[in-house]
Amino acid sequence: MPAKSKDSRPGGRSARVRAAVHRAVVDLVQEAGADKVTIPAVARRAGVNPSSVYRRWGTASALLADVAARRQDEETPELVGDLRQDLERVAVWTLTDLSRPGGVAFFRAEVAPDVDDRKAGLRACLERVSARFRAPLEAAARRGETTPSLERVLDRVVAPLYFRVVFSIPGTDESFARGLVAELCDAVDAGAAGMARGQR
């Protein structure tokens, strides 16, 4: 079979441009920081025409948000069907994602670009992190288990991880992330046991 040009496949060229642009953004954020990412710099690095980048993403903030969205969606851990284990895996994955070079930079990019884009970026960022934790919570609820609310998970697991990574607090590792989940689940179990005693 003769080698076909990738450009002739539907989406082939477009997908390659997107991949090259995303890689350029990740590299530039790691080297210079999210605030130094501009569309001309990204286009130069990716070897594509700036006008295609403007046409597709419009602004540097929109581009950063798209890259952040892509990073957050890839490699989400599979559910194993046990609430603690599933929450622990998502918590560890969230920490790993935030901790890798550029991880917080991408979070910051969503928090700190132009005033106009900020609200939409923040909503998207919160929605993505919520979706990741919502999956194991809903699966456990379908199994009839008592679960913490999503808000409790955000307050007790996600908020400390974000805060500690943003402020570089030492000791913020996998076992710390698992500990946050364990403590929350222990409190939920103790509450459920207390309710059961009360109903007897």
Q: Which residues bind a second copy (CB under 8 A)?
A: 32-33, 35, 108, 111-115, 119, 122, 125-126, 151, 154-156, 158-160, 162-164, 166-169, 180
CB 37 within 8 A of CB 108: no
Looking at the Cβ atoms of 48 and 91, the one nearer to a second copy is 91
Looking at the Cβ atoms of 133 and 162, the one nearer to a second copy is 162
Neighbours of 35 (CB within 10 A): 14
Find the shortest distance in angstroms from Cβ 192 to a second copy: 17
Instruction: Tell me the CA distances in angstroms from 136 to 39, 79, 85, one per residue in order.
Output: 38, 7, 9
Find the shortest distance in angstroms from Cβ 20 to a second copy: 25
Report how far residue 120's alpha carbon sits from residue 113's, in angstroms, rounded to the nearest whole number: 11
Find the shortest distance in angstroms from Cβ 76 to a second copy: 20
Kindly state the tokens that stand for 39: 């569309």
Looking at the Cβ atoms of 84 and 164, the one nearer to a second copy is 164
Looking at the Cβ atoms of 48 and 181, the one nearer to a second copy is 181
Kindly give, in sequence order, each residue whose CB lies less than 8 Å from that of residue 120, ignoring residues fewer than 6 positions away: 65
Find the shortest distance in angstroms from Cβ 163 to a second copy: 4
CB 114 within 8 A of CB 61: yes
Kindly state the tokens that stand for 73: 């969606």
Looking at the Cβ atoms of 20 and 124, the one nearer to a second copy is 124
Find the shortest distance in angstroms from Cβ 161 to a second copy: 8
* Identity of the amino acid at 77: P
- Site of tokens 């403007």: 54
Find the shortest distance in angstroms from Cβ 149 to a second copy: 12
Consecutive H or E run containing 192: helix 174-199
Looking at the Cβ atoms of 187 and 195, the one nearer to a second copy is 187
